[in-house]
Amino acid sequence: MNGPEQDARLLAAPAISLPMPSSATSSRPAFVRSDAADTGNKRPPITLNIPFGDANPGIIEFAKGKIPGDQDAMRIVASWCVSQKEWEALSWLCRNTTLTRLTICDTSFDDSGAQTLREIMLCDTAIKTLDLSNNLFGAGIAKAFCEGLKSNRTLTTLNFDNRMCGKYGDREFAIRLSEALQSNTALTTINLSIMCAVNAGASALIQALEVNKSLKNFTLLTLAVGPGVANALSEALHANTTLKKLHLSQLGMEDAGAEAIASALAGNPSLESLDLGRNRFSSKGIMALVAVLKTNSTLKELSLCGNKISPADMEHLADALKANTSLVSLNLDMCGAGDDGVKALTAALSGNAALVSLSVEMCGMRDDGAKAFAAALSGNTSLKAIRFGWNDISQEGAMALLEALRSNTTLTGFSMSYPDPALQEEIAALLERNRRIPETISGAEAFFHLVNRTGNPDSAVLPEEVNRLILGDLVQAPRGINTAGQMKEQIDPPPRKS
């Protein structure tokens, strides 16, 4: 399932342990880091682990030290209990000039923590990515953090996955954050997972999109909001023409929300990625979204996972896909379409040349649906990845899909939940074969051009070897080369004149 997109480099990089001193008189902790980890051009984040307890002098000692000049990421992992002195010590980050990525997790933010976070936000440090996931915030964080965010000019990515304290904590935070977003002009990506107990919180956040023109990626994952967000969505998407990604999963939206989004998509020139997973759309809402796919030319990614899609709705979706030329990724996991719905969907695969990734996991597909997909894959050359996981496919259906993969040379991603190690090994081998084809074919074509350009008389001994490589091992010959004879004719130069 598609979830909020976070800073991949930061999350993927290994945590590097920073040992804590055992007492206040201990020497300063040494930074320990493994440079062997492959994290691209960035160092792996230094991690400061704060053990559970009322007094952890290590963090205070750490604040007196210096971060290596080439260190650009830091991850603070606490055991929920951070003292006031430790929060004050962390305000040292306000003077930081090297860190660009900061993660604080497993922490309980009291008023002291809220104040430290506010100071960091107000200082306009070098930090561009701030991840505050998996924390517990007190009532004071809403005002303190959002005041800092209002005027911050350097932060570009915010990940926030937390639970607020107090009966109305989440709603208050959402409303204050909405106000901050209407003033902030630096953030481009925000990923939120909070519990907006009433519509007011979610609606306020969405309304901020009417004013904010700097955000490009907006994710809101929440629970227990209802139809009240539809009007906010409609107004925001009609007014905002800069947003690229909008992920609104698990909002409890009903058909009015789907219709509002469909209406906005008809005239929105910027939105490229839309996640509406796990909402409460009926056939009416699905049909509104399907209809706009026939004319929309900007949307590239769409997720409808977890929304019920009937076989009749799937037929209309297939018709829309035949007309659509922009959508490259479609997620229909857990849609409950069954074999009849899947069969209807496969009708679009032969007429659509744009779709690159398709997921139909847990949709109730059986062998008949698998066979329909197998037949469709034989005539489709655009799909690169397809997922069939967690369906009720027996050996008969699995073998049909495997046979289709054997003759397909474009799929490089393929997953199927069938407990047969030999079958899974062959799937892996076929996918690896397909991944190698573009590089090898490109190299062969370059070789042909080189031979033709140089007119090498010794090239006459090479065709058999090249034929075996291209036509034998890789199944697919270079463009315009269909037989061994044609290949030999292209490679062999004309005879020299005496």
Q: For the chain of 498 residues, list the mean pLDDT of each consecutive stretch of 10.
A: 38 33 31 36 63 51 54 73 77 80 84 88 88 82 88 93 64 88 95 70 88 93 66 87 92 88 90 94 96 95 97 96 96 96 93 94 96 93 95 96 94 93 95 83 55 46 45 44 45 47
User: Rounded CA gap, 288 and 263, in Å?
Assistant: 8
User: Rounded CA gap, 311 and 317, in Å?
Assistant: 10
Given this model, what pLDDT does residue 488 score? 44
Given this model, what pLDDT does residue 406 score? 94
User: Rounded CA gap, 429 and 63, in Å?
Assistant: 52
Given this model, what pLDDT does residue 161 score? 79
User: Rounded CA gap, 59 and 77, in Å?
Assistant: 11
User: Rounded CA gap, 215 and 492, in Å?
Assistant: 58
Q: Which residues does 423 contact at the CB level (< 8 Å), separation at least 6?
A: 398, 399, 402
* pTM for the full predicted model: 0.78
In order of 136, 142, 161, 245, the CA distances from 164 in angstroms are: 6, 9, 10, 26
Amino acid, res. 204: A
User: Rounded CA gap, 192 and 170, in Å?
Assistant: 11
Given this model, what pLDDT does residue 465 score? 45
Amino acid, res. 230: A
Given this model, what pLDDT does residue 203 score? 84
For the CA atoms of 200, 204, 207, 213, the dihedral, rounded to the nearest 10 degrees, stands at -170
